[in-house]
Structure 1
Amino acid sequence: MSSHPSTPDGQTPPPSFAITPREQDGIPVFVFSGYCTAEAGRQVAVLVEQVMQPPRRGMVWDFSTCRLINSPGVVALMEVALRVVDDFRCRLVITGVDATQISVFRMAGVFPVADLAPSLEEALVQAGKGS
């Protein structure tokens, strides 16, 4: 017997999703958890609008607790990344991604719109430098 609940068709549902916003060293940090879908993009878009008033120099997206991102999720995140960088003139730094996520983000064009950092600490340093 599986330890995970299943859907009516017997499939294990994807993990739930959440974005936890916080501020560290004066920099907005969004921690993505669970399974990122297009809903992730919609939620982060709302959060970006809230934290960018007043405008910020840098922002960090931390995917260290987000193991799955589907294609609509990548597209939605790309759209928000463009808004952060182009419209708000804010430096976006992404951290906590694995090799597969890096590859997918590169193919989708998220990198080089956003910068990649190997750790949250380095992401905060890069974001603090602004765009």
Structure 2
Amino acid sequence: MTINPNITIKETSLENIVNDIKNFYNENEWHYITVNATDLGGKLQIDWLFSKYKAKNIIQIFRIPEVSYDAKIPSIVSILPSAWISEWELGDLFGLDVENAMCGVFIAPDAPKAPLRKDSSWEK
């Protein structure tokens, strides 16, 4: 069985991401999956993923194609309270400054800092 998702990607910015998701999100129509970062080396791509309820393989992605390592990442917890989990993971795994996120929650205190970050010289 092959799954061929229908994926729509909307590029946005750090300044607009919260409003874009707020204007899009309908809790009866869309399921929040996660926020994901991809380290591009020197910068990141960040994707917020949603899937449509009662429809197979319909995915909506809000993408910021280039984010600097030291950027302040806005939180969408005011829209989706469960988003704190994936937001805090961004802080731990990439060393990102996510609004209202605590670091050190998902990795051990003696673990490497920001283990998914390509810039291995980073230490917080």
| Range class of TM-score, shorter chain | 0.3 to 0.5
With the length of structure 2 as denominator, give the TM-score of the two structures: 0.34
Q: TM-score, normalised by structure 1?
A: 0.33
More strand by share: 2
Instruction: Indicate the structure with greater helix content.
Output: 1
